[in-house]
C-alpha cells in the first residue's frame, strides 16, 4: 500500500499590536524553499533559507540578505521578502552570520563554549561568514550576486565589500543602515572592558548605558567595536579622509522607511554628498524612501521588491554598455 504525503500550507495573520506594529498577513510558501548551511573559514556554521524561483523564469543573478542586530534569517519580513523575490525570478537566500540573535553558541574551542550574537559576537569576524555564503551561492552556479544588508547587516556587507572588493558582487544594498559616524567610545565601559580582557574574562557582560532599555555587551564584543578602523567608524567620510566607501566600486542602493525608521531623506542626502566628495567613488549611488514602512518593512515588502528589482535592472543594463 502506497502512502501519501500531504503538505498543508497555512496562511498566518500575526498581530504585533502589543509592540506598536501593524497586523501582518503571512502567506504560505508557493515555491520551493530549503534550509541550507555554510561554514566559514574558522569553522563557524551558519544557517539560512534558500528561496527557489521557477526554473523557466530564473534570472542569472542571486541575492543574499544579511540580517540586522538581535534578529535572524527567519524573521517574518525577511521570509516574506525572500518569497516575493523568488516569485520575481530571483534565487534569494536569507542568511545568518555569527551575530544572529542576542546570543548563540558558535561551537566549542579548547573545551570552552564560543558564543556569538549581539551580546557576545565579534562583529568584525562576520566578513568570514559573508565570504562563506558568497562561495555557497557561487557553488550553485551564480557568478553575479546582489548583497543586501539590513540595519546592522548594512555595516557588515559594506565592510565586507570594502575589504574584499569581491568582483562577484554586482551591487550592494544598504537597507536601513547607519550613516553617521560611530559615537565616541564610553570611557567607563572601555576601562571595564580592558580590565576584564586582562583577566581573560572576555565573555563577562558590561551594561550598555546608551540604550533606553536594559542592554549588555561582552567585554570582547566591546573591544572589537572600540578597535574598529577609523575608516569603518566613519564609513562615508563625513569627517574622515580614509573612508571605507572609497574602496567600494560597485553600484549602491540605500533606503529607509518613512514610518519611524532610523534614518530619513536627510540621512540619505548626507550619504550621497559625503560619498561624492571622496577621492574614489562607487559607480553609482541610488537612494530612495519606502512609503509607510517601519524599520522591518512589515506589510510594505512589495515596495522593497519593486525598488530593488528596478535598480537591479538599471545597473544590469548599464553594465552591458
- Do 155 and 257 fall within a single domain? yes
Distance CA 130, CA 160 (A): 7
pLDDT digits (tens, 9 = 90+) for 85-102: 999 999 999 999 999 999
Number of domains in the chain: 2
**Whether 240 and 192 share a structural domain:** no
281: left (phi over 0), alpha (psi -120 to 50) or beta: beta
Distance between CA atoms of residues 298 and 152, nearest Å: 17
Pair 216, 69 in one domain: no
In a shared domain, residues 150 and 236: yes
Same domain for 95 and 40:
yes
Domain match, 43 and 91 both: yes
Domain that holds residue 202: 183-227
The pLDDT tens digits of the residues spanning 215-230 come to 899 999 999 999 999 9
Instruction: Tell me the pLDDT tens digit for each residue of 145-157.
Output: 999 999 999 999 9
The answer on 265 and 167 residing in a single domain is: yes
The pLDDT of residue 212 is 78
Judge whether 21 lies within some domain: no
pLDDT of residue 16: 39
Q: What is the pLDDT of residue 8?
A: 33
Phi and psi torsions of 245, nearest 5°: -60, -25
- 12: in domain: no
Query: Is the same domain home to 210 and 238?
Result: no
Q: Which residues contact 159 (CB under 8 A, 6 or more apart)?
A: 124, 126, 127, 232, 235, 244
Residue at which a domain ends, from 167, 202, 227:
227
CATH of the domain at 256: 3.40.50.1820
pLDDT score for 11: 40
**pTM assigned to the model:** 0.91
Coil/strand/helix, residue 287: strand
Q: Which residues pair with 289 in a beta bridge?
A: 256
Please tell me the predicted confidence (pLDDT) of residue 71: 97
Q: Which residue numbers in the chain have pLDDT < 70?
A: 1-25, 319-321
Rounded-to-integer distance, Cα 217 and Cα 193, Å:
10
Can you give the pLDDT at residue 26? 72
Are 157 and 296 within one domain?
Answer: yes
Whether 83 and 205 share a structural domain? no
Amino acid at each position: 500500500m502506497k502512502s501519501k504525503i500531504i503538505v498543508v500550507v497555512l496562511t498566518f495573520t500575526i498581530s504585533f499590536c502589543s509592540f506598536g506594529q501593524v497586523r501582518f498577513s503571512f502567506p504560505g510558501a508557493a515555491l520551493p524553499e530549503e534550509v541550507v548551511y555554510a561554514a566559514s573559514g574558522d569553522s563557524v556554521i551558519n544557517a539560512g533559507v534558500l528561496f527557489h524561483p521557477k526554473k523557466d523564469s530564473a534570472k542569472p543573478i542571486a541575492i543574499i540578505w544579511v540580517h540586522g542586530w538581535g534578529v535572524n534569517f527567519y524573521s517574518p519580513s525577511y521570509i516574506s521578502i525572500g518569497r516575493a523575490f523568488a516569485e520575481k525570478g530571483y534565487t534569494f537566500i536569507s542568511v545568518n552570520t555569527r551575530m544572529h540573535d542576542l546570543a548563540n553558541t558558535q561551537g566549542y574551542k579548547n573545551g570552552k563554549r564560543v558564543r556569538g550574537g549581539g551580546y557576545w559576537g565579534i562583529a568584525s569576524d562576520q566578513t568570514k561568514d559573508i565570504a562563506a555564503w558568497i562561495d555557497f551561492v557561487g557553488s550553485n552556479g551564480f557568478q553575479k550576486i546582489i548583497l543586501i544588508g539590513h540595519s546592522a547587516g548594512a555595516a557588515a556587507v559594506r565592510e565586507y565589500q570594502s575589504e574584499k572588493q569581491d568582483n562577484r558582487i554586482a551591487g550592494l544594498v544598504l537597507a536601513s543602515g547607519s550613516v553617521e559616524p560611530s559615537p565616541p567610545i564610553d570611557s567607563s565601559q572601555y576601562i571595564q572592558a580592558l580590565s576584564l580582557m586582562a583577566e581573560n574574562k572576555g565573555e563577562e557582560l558590561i551594561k550598555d548605558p546608551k540604550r533606553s532599555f536594559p542592554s549588555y555587551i561582552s567585554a570582547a564584543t566591546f573591544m572589537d567595536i572600540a578597535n574598529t578602523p577609523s575608516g569603518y567608524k566613519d564609513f562615508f567620510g563625513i569627517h574622515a579622509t580614509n573612508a571605507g566607501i572609497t574602496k567600494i566600486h560597485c553600484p549602491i542602493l540605500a533606503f529607509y522607511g518613512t514610518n519611524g525608521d532610523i534614518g530619513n531623506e536627510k540621512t540619505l542626502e548626507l550619504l550621497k554628498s559625503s560619498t561624492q566628495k571622496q577621492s574614489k567613488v562607487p559607480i553609482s549611488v541610488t537612494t530612495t524612501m519606502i512609503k509607510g514602512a517601519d524599520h522591518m518593512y512589515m506589510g510594505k515588502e512589495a515596495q522593497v521588491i519593486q525598488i530593488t528589482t528596478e535598480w537591479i535592472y538599471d545597473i544590469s543594463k548599464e553594465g552591458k554598455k
